[in-house]
Chain A
Amino acid sequence: MFTMGIDIGSTSSKAAIMEDGSKIVASCVIPFGTGTSGPQRVIEDVLQAADMNRDNIDYIVATGYGRRSIPGADEQISEITCHARGVHFLLPSTRTIIDIGGQDVKVIRVDENGAVMNFVMNEKCAAGTGRFLEVMARVLECKVDELSMLSNQAKQAVPISSTCTVFAESEVISQLAAGNSREDVVAGIHDSVARRVASLGKRVGLVPDVVMTGGVAQNEGVVKAMRQELKTEIKTSPLPQLTGAIGAALLAYQKVQKAKQAND
């Protein structure tokens, strides 16, 4: 049996096809989110990668910010539950998930079965999110994926105290104007994100293993800053952008199984 999970975020679309809830057959990430052609394309691309068509898929679960606008999805489930399930599949020892998405930060506590025990999310504000890093990258005239490399070369992080994206932007500009190196400023930005996210994490309590997911988890600079801030080991999910989609595909499988049991 094949199931598909689609995770439509604010800045990217992700999809995964799984077989019998145990094997990833194909996956795909497109850097366009909800309201763009991204959702449509990611479905086409993942089907193509698996050499399948829609009829081969038994059940589709959509998740993410754009989860309610996916035609053809059989069901939609929140990204909180999906991330929890996805991470549990990839790293079963996970008890705390830190997911930094384009406009949301979530910290999710899960039990040994990958069920959500509690979660917290950021207030209505971009501080600490992927969007925050994008704005900062623009000020620094670099690409978001170059930030990690830059902070690696930092000698001493420049403290960035503003948590508000707009103020942080002007603070970064004045730090650069004051002659601080881009590398040191980037390291400061990463520390600022880490502080912000860590404080959210402390609200639910961080129980190891702590795992980071979401696009920002690919930024080693942020992960390093998080380790320092939380004084705990932090793992990163092997497929950080895909955990939501994988979780959705797993939940899709579970739904079909349940429906079968009910019919038997």
Chain B
Amino acid sequence: MTDTTQVKAAKDVVKDLQAEYYAEANRAHEEGKLVAWVTSIAPREFLEAMDIVTIYPENHAAAIAAKKGSMEMLDIAESMGYSIDICSYARVNLGYVEAGDSAAGKVPYPDLLFCCNNICDTVTKWYEILSRRLNVPLIMIDLPFSHFDQPQEHTIDYIVGQFENAIKQLEEITGKPFNYEKFQHCLELSNQASTLWKESFEMGKNKPCPFNGLDYFNYMAQIVCSRGNEKAVYFFQLLKDEIAAKVAAGEGYIQDEQYRILWDGIPFWYNLRVMAKSLKDRKAVQVASTYTENWALTYDTTDLRSMAKAYMGNFTNREFEFRFNNMCRIIREYSCDGVILHSNRSCKNQDFAMYELARQVTKATGVPVAIVDGDQDDPRAFSEAQYETRIQALFEMIDQRREAK
């Protein structure tokens, strides 16, 4: 990292870091370093401790869609018999496994898989398939869905048991003893990065909002890929400082912002442009998203039980009241005027609670909501005209609500 990056905007730095990340991964792989394919909210600290290169098929699939390359991959997967109904990240990645290249470039093939199902059960199925297809071992971290406000003790026991088992598996795969010292360091760095990440996006509470919340879908790559090493700490410190300077100067992403929006769900990666435009044209800012909050993962670094609890605590792993209270809290803390919920064909876990969530949230807060139909990676499930109509109606409802006041 050269000094010139210091003056660059975080937005550009993250691009450099990602490019560097993939280049380094490819290089490391060629040099014989072990590569793991990993799910997005997995406790990657275990891998970092063993110096294993981590690749995130979900991020890669998102990048492929953003580069308009997802259809090509989807076609390959569907021709193999993968149903159009299953998650499009999985289909894009399974297509990529066959193609070996993509619109977003190459990633090295894995020597092992590291799957954590706190986000959904889809990843479990997807990684099972990868394990057999690529004939590589799969380390499964099963973080049970919680029907209670607080996880039960026997659930934590099970998770800690799995952590211990994962350590054994890693020792076998690498042929080296687990590096507890480095692991401890990774836990600390992970917590630092997560704290900085959270502190940075929480500045979105300011009026005007100092950043474009959509940029967080790009920053996310770093909290996913580098949480647990120095790079993430470096980047989020830089990001936080950049945003803090804007807040101090009273600077907003849109100076005369008119609307503050909460986004729920994964974006349509193949059409971020339409998302950005539909907001910017109306002087609206996405100030928060339920999605980015998932990585605000902090825990007691001396206690694996605390780590277990943190990793099972993301909202798709929690009961309805948590999801509801969480959304109401964000609306309140960030002074949101409206909510956009993405009914995403790929994400049944979120979808099937969404109608009720939308009803309850609008009832409790009075804030108008719009549900938009689409998919994270499959452009066929998205209609721009339909999207635009619903977004427009949302803003008209916000206006009416203001007029009535």
Q: Which residues of A61-94 have CB atoms within 8 Å of chain B's CB atoms?
A: 65, 77-81
**B385 CB-CB contact with A under 8 Å:** yes
In whole angstroms, how far apart are the Cα atoms of A117 and B368 in the complex? 7
CB nearest neighbor in A for B372: A121
Contacts of A204 in B (CB 8 A): 359
In whole angstroms, how far apart are the Cα atoms of A104 and B385 in the complex? 11
Query: Which of B359, B389, B403 has a CB less than 8 Å from the CB of A80?
Result: B389
Chain A contact residues: helix, strand, loop or mixed: mixed
Q: Which residues of B387-401 have CB atoms within 8 Å of chain A's CB atoms?
A: 389-390, 392-393, 396-397, 400-401
Question: A124–B362 contact, CB under 8 A?
Answer: no
Given contacts A79-B389, A80-B389, contact A116 B397 (CB under 8 A): yes
When each residue 16-29 of chain A gets 1 if its CB lies under 8 Å from chain B and 0 otherwise, what string results? Answer: 00000000000000
CB nearest neighbor in A for B385: A65
B345 to chain A, nearest CB (A): 9
Question: B392–A77 contact, CB under 8 A?
Answer: yes
Contacts of A78 in B (CB 8 A): 389, 392-393, 396
Question: B396–A118 contact, CB under 8 A?
Answer: no
Contacts of B389 in A (CB 8 A): 65, 78-80, 104, 121
Contacts of A65 in B (CB 8 A): 385, 389
Contacts of B371 in A (CB 8 A): 120
**B355 CB-CB contact with A under 8 Å:** yes
Chain B contact residues: helix, strand, loop or mixed: helix
In whole angstroms, how far apart are the Cα atoms of A204 and B358 in the complex? 10
Contacts of B393 in A (CB 8 A): 78, 80-81, 116, 119
In whole angstroms, how far apart are the Cα atoms of A203 and B362 in the complex? 13
In whole angstroms, how far apart are the Cα atoms of A79 and B388 in the complex? 11
Contacts of A104 in B (CB 8 A): 386, 389
Contacts of B362 in A (CB 8 A): 118
Question: A81–B385 contact, CB under 8 A?
Answer: no
Question: A115–B400 contact, CB under 8 A?
Answer: yes
CB nearest neighbor in A for B370: A119
Question: A123–B373 contact, CB under 8 A?
Answer: yes
B359 to chain A, nearest CB (A): 8
Q: Which residues of B129-170 have CB atoms within 8 Å of chain A's CB atoms?
A: none
**B7 CB-CB contact with A under 8 Å:** no
**A152 CB-CB contact with B under 8 Å:** no
Residues of A within 8 A of B (CB-CB), count? 19
**A153 CB-CB contact with B under 8 Å:** no
Contacts of A79 in B (CB 8 A): 389
Contacts of A120 in B (CB 8 A): 371
A155 to chain B, nearest CB (A): 37
Question: A121–B390 contact, CB under 8 A?
Answer: yes
In whole angstroms, how far apart are the Cα atoms of A171 and B368 in the complex? 40
Given contacts A77-B392, A116-B393, A116-B397, contact A203 B355 (CB under 8 A): yes
Question: B404–A115 contact, CB under 8 A?
Answer: yes
A253 to chain B, nearest CB (A): 15
Contacts of B373 in A (CB 8 A): 123-124
**A113 CB-CB contact with B under 8 Å:** yes
Question: B396–A116 contact, CB under 8 A?
Answer: yes
A112 to chain B, nearest CB (A): 11
**B381 CB-CB contact with A under 8 Å:** yes
Question: A118–B400 contact, CB under 8 A?
Answer: no
**B383 CB-CB contact with A under 8 Å:** yes
Query: Which of B359, B381, B400 has a CB less than 8 Å from the CB of A116?
Result: B400
Contacts of B397 in A (CB 8 A): 81, 115-119
Question: B386–A121 contact, CB under 8 A?
Answer: yes
B327 to chain A, nearest CB (A): 16
Name which of B355, B362, B381, B392 has the most chain A CB atoms within 10 A of its CB: B392
CB nearest neighbor in B for A121: B390
In whole angstroms, how far apart are the Cα atoms of A120 and B401 in the complex? 18
Q: Which residues of A119-147 have CB atoms within 8 Å of chain B's CB atoms?
A: 119-121, 123-124
Question: B386–A124 contact, CB under 8 A?
Answer: yes
In whole angstroms, how far apart are the Cα atoms of A81 and B369 in the complex? 14
Q: Which residues of B347-367 have CB atoms within 8 Å of chain A's CB atoms?
A: 355, 359, 362
Contacts of B386 in A (CB 8 A): 104, 121, 124
Contacts of A116 in B (CB 8 A): 393, 396-397, 400
B284 to chain A, nearest CB (A): 15
Q: Which residues of B contact A (CB under 8 A)?
A: 343, 355, 359, 362, 368-369, 371, 373, 381-383, 385-386, 389-390, 392-393, 396-397, 400-401, 403-404
Further 11 A-B residue pairs, CB within 8 A, beyond A77-B396, A115-B397 = A65-B389, A77-B392, A78-B396, A79-B389, A80-B389, A81-B393, A115-B400, A116-B396, A119-B397, A124-B373, A203-B359
30 CB-based A-B contacts, threshold 8 Å: A65-B385, A65-B389, A77-B392, A77-B396, A78-B389, A78-B392, A81-B400, A104-B386, A104-B389, A113-B404, A115-B400, A115-B401, A115-B403, A115-B404, A116-B396, A116-B400, A117-B397, A118-B368, A119-B393, A121-B386, A121-B390, A123-B343, A123-B373, A124-B373, A124-B381, A124-B382, A124-B386, A203-B355, A203-B359, A204-B359
